[in-house]
């Protein structure tokens, strides 16, 4: 991809190790405790900036600001006016997209070519939800009560929304939470990951510039244990929306019981990819490989269990391993980089432990498997794209979400066997199928237990199409009209007219 700007120059201009305050009630403020935390570049370990380490007191202030805005000026905005706000935000995102992309790359390591390529998706979300702001409505319902009685429904905003997002897609994740809240008339308190807080603060600045009223959007930086936990349990938050690990999602669901707040969760996965014997191998190899290796495997939908028909298994896995070996690994800010670093040393260490477990349990290491060192990688958290063969379904690497660039390849003999093994997991977030037979595609897609199933492709996400998981991968949907319903209450109204 040829860039029409110098990302390194823009990166130098963006962050200099300075303090970046959080955004509460329309004001830029430090943590009430005065505590701060560092935002590190995962490719180099350098300090990009410092941000407030918010705590329960800061969450309380943000929720109070969101409540005041919800019951005050924001409640008077018509659907058309909310639409105009979202369209102004979209315009500002267009203007500042390079800055947002560079910030994402510095904040969490995804190569600049990929953060730039998210433009259509993110701005498309803003414009989609802007369109939906004026399309929300209730229904007039014929009832069977004696007399002249009219019954109808209204769709009303749920209230104050608490949103907790992960570090692997700060821009997209922020907008996927904020945009439907604004479209429906809710207010929001966003708690970004402590590992990637800078871009959400940049987004808050653009929200303010777009004319979002004070308190409608608030961004509180801090740890999950301090700020995140308080937001999840807060008695004046009407809804929690969370994207992250299944373990944390379970804790958030329990916390939501305190006031029976609405909860929607997009959690972990151990997604299968099934490559049938009639698949187009040339097309399937790079897609199946990047279903995991994109963002160094740090995506919830990573297709890390690769089931390949035995007739083509050896050739397919060999070619995936060769593909992995050709990927250019380096700093995300470089235009030629295809695979960037893992988010931090802790996550890199966990992935190394999984790789060791794979070898110890008898899997065959075919490609990668090492942490990269040397001048290019000093200070960063780089792991070579890894491919294991001879994997059994009971091995740790085939059962647990690794969140790293690791593929577990396994042969299968029949489609019934492939389906049974693909579904033999507590997760149900996504799946991929490769086949040239339309009937096979339909049959497998229907039988696979996953919220999204891609055929002869992977990673497709569109604002108009629902996305979410089944079973331990969570509940609720993001995208489409179902997403907006997550932020709305249905009120039934009865009027006797005689």
**Helix pair 198-209, 97-108: axis angle to 10 deg:** 160
Among the listed residues 223, 230, 149, the one whose alpha carbon sits nearest the alpha carbon of residue 192: 223
Number of other CB atoms surrounding residue 50 within 10 Å: 17
Does 486 qualify as catalytic in the annotation? no
**Per-residue burial over 20-44, b = 16 or more CB atoms within 10 Å of its CB, e = otherwise:** bbbbbbbeebbbeeeebbebbbbbb
Collect all residues with Cβ–Cβ distance below 8 Å to 244 and sequence separation of at least 6: 164, 165, 166, 267
Query: What is the C-alpha separation between 482 and 492, in angstroms, rounded?
Result: 19
Active-site residue among 194, 226, 233, 266? Answer: 266
Instruction: Name the DSSP letter for residue 213.
Output: P
Question: CB of 449 within 8 A of CB of 423?
Answer: yes
| Catalytic-role residue among 186, 194, 226, 300 | 300
Return left, alpha or beta for 89; rule: phi > 0 is left, psi -120 to 50 is alpha, else beta. alpha
Rounded to whole angstroms, how far apart are CA atoms 111 and 104? Answer: 9
Nearest-angstrom CA–CA distance, 103 and 15: 9
* Alpha helices (H) in 327-376, listed in sequence order: 345-360
CA distance 192 to 174: 8
Say whether 84 is catalytic: no
Q: Which residues are catalytic?
A: 266, 300
């Amino acid at each position: 991809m040829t860039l029409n700007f110098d990302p390194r120059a823009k990166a130098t201009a963006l962050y200099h190790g300075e303090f970046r305050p959080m955004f509460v009630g329309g004001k830029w403020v430090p943590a009430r405790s005065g505590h701060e935390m560092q935002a590190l570049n995962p490719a180099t370990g350098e300090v990009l900036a410092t941000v407030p380490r918010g705590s329960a007191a800061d969450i309380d202030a943000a929720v109070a600001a969101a409540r005041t805005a919800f019951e005050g000026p924001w409640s008077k905005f018509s659907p058309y006016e909310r639409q105009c706000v979202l369209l102004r935000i979209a315009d500002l995102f267009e203007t500042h997209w390079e800055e947002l992309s560079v910030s994402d790359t510095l904040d969490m390591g995804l190569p600049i070519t990929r953060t730039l390529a998210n433009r259509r998706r993110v701005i498309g979300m803003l414009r989609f939800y802007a369109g939906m702001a004026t399309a929300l409505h209730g229904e007039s319902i014929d009832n069977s009560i004696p007399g002249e009685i009219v019954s109808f429904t209204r769709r009303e905003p749920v209230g104050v929304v608490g949103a907790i997002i992960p570090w692997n897609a700060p821009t997209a994740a922020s907008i996927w939470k904020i945009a439907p809240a604004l479209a429906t008339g809710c207010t929001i308190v966003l708690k970004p990951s402590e590992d990637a807080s800078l871009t959400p603060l940049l987004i808050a600045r653009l929200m303010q510039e777009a004319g979002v009223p004070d308190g409608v959007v608030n961004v509180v930086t801090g740890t999950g244990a301090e700020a995140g936990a308080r937001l999840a349990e807060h008695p004046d938050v009407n809804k929690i929306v969370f994207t992250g690990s299944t373990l944390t999602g379970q804790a958030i669901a329990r916390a939501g019981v305190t006031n029976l707040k609405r909860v929607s969760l997009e959690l972990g996965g151990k997604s299968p990819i099934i490559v049938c014997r009639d698949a187009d191998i040339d097309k399937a190899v790079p897609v199946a490989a990047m279903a995991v290796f994109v963002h160094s495997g740090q995506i919830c939908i990573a297709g890390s269990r690769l089931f390949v028909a035995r007739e083509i298994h050896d050739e397919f896995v060999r070619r995936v391993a060769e593909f992995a070996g050709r990927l250019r690994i380096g700093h995300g800010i470089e235009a030629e980089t295809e695979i960037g670093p893992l988010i931090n040393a802790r996550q890199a260490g966990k992935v190394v432990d999984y790789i060791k477990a794979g070898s110890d349990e008898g899997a065959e290491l075919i490609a990668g498997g090492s942490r990269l060192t040397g001048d290019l990688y000093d200070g960063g958290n780089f792991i070579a794209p890894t491919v294991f063969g001879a994997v059994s379904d009971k091995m740790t690497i085939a059962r647990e979400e690794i969140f790293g660039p690791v593929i577990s390849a396994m042969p299968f003999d029949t489609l019934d066997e492939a389906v049974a093994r693909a579904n033999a997991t507590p997760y149900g977030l996504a799946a991929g199928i490769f086949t040239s037979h339309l009937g096979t595609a339909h049959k497998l897609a229907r039988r696979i237990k996953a919220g999204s199933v891609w055929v002869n492709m992977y990673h497709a996400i569109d604002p108009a199409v629902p996305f979410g998981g089944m079973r331990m991968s969570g509940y609720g949907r993001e995208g489409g009209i179902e997403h907006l319903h997550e932020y709305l209450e249905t009120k039934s109204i009865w009027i006797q007219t005689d």
